[in-house]
A = this chain, B = another copy of it.
C-alpha cells in the first residue's frame, strides 16, 4: 500500500508527499495534530492538515524568522515567541549570546509535548534554562507584559482558527506596548503568490502602528508557492541598515549578505505593499 499525504494549500492546489509512517495523530483542545514520517522531507508536523515544519526544510523558516529581527536589534536580551510550539524559532533565538530570557507563549501545550517527543532536532532548546514556556493565549500574554521585550516573534499558523487574532491591528498595537523602547517584532505573513490581499492589509496595519515597516522573503519549499513573507514592525532600528557578526553561529540558510538581499523584493511584491498604503 502506498500512503500519500495531501495538503490543500488553496482550494485548487495541493502538495502531496509519500508517507513512510504515521507517527502520531490526536485532536487537541485547539486543533488536529499529526506527525508523519515522509520520504521527501523526513518527519513533519501538520496542524489541521497544514504542514507547519519538516525536518528537512525547517532551517529556512526558523533561521529567517529569528535571525533577521535579532540581528536588527544590537543587543536583544529579552525575546518573546508567540506560537512556535515546535521550538524551532526558540532554538535559533538562543544561538544569540546576548539573549538572557526567551519566552514561548504557545496556546496549545500538546504541540509542545508532541514536538518534544517526535521532533527533538527542532524542539531541543525548549529545555534550555534561558527558555520559559508559557502555555496560554499569546494575545493575553502580550497584554499583560508592557515594555518588556526587545524582540517579539509571531510564529503563528495561518489566519484561520486560533491564529486569527494575531493578524489584527489591535494585536500589533499590543505588540508595540509589550516591546521595550527600541524594540521590534516580526510576523510570518504568508505567501505573496496566494495571499496578496492579506499581505497588503497587514503591511498597512503595521505601518500605521510602527515608524518602520519592512517585508522580507525566504524560500520555504513546503509552504504554498515556496516563497514566504515576513513583516517587521520596528520602533527605531531599521533591518536593512545593520551590522551583523555571525561568528561562531551555525546556520544553513541565513548569512549577513542574505539578510539584506531578503528585503530586495520582486516588482509584483513591491506592488502588493504599495496597494495597501
Contacts and interface: CB of A to CB of B under 8 A. Distances in A.
A227 B12 CA distance: 21
Contact of A227 (B10, B15, B226, B265): B226
A158 B47 CA distance: 34
> How many identical subunits does the complex contain?
2
A164 interface: no
B13 A40 contact: yes
B252 A258 contact: no
A266 B60 CA distance: 9
A39 interface: yes
A124 to B, nearest CB: 20
Contacts of A18: 11-13
Contact of A13 (B17, B193, B265, B270): B17
Interface residues of A, number: 41
Contact of A265 (B12, B258, B266, B270): B258
Contacts of A60: 266
Contacts of A11: 18, 39
Nearest to A222: B225
A238 interface: no
Nearest to A256: B264
A268 interface: yes
Contact of A39 (B12, B39, B224, B260): B12
Given A254-B267, A267-B252, A13 B16 contact: yes
Interface string A221-234: 10011110000000
A10 B40 CA distance: 8
A277 interface: no
Contacts of A257: 264
Contacts of A225: 219, 221, 226
Interface of A: 4, 6, 10-18, 38-40, 57, 59-60, 193, 217, 219-221, 224-227, 251-255, 257-258, 260-261, 264-268, 270
27 contacts: A4-B14, A10-B40, A11-B39, A12-B18, A12-B39, A13-B15, A13-B16, A13-B40, A14-B15, A14-B16, A14-B17, A15-B15, A60-B266, A217-B219, A219-B219, A219-B226, A221-B225, A226-B227, A251-B267, A252-B266, A252-B267, A252-B268, A255-B265, A255-B267, A255-B270, A258-B266, A260-B261
Given A221-B224, A226-B227, A258-B266, 12 more contacts: A11-B18, A12-B40, A13-B16, A57-B193, A217-B219, A219-B226, A220-B226, A221-B225, A221-B226, A253-B268, A254-B267, A261-B261
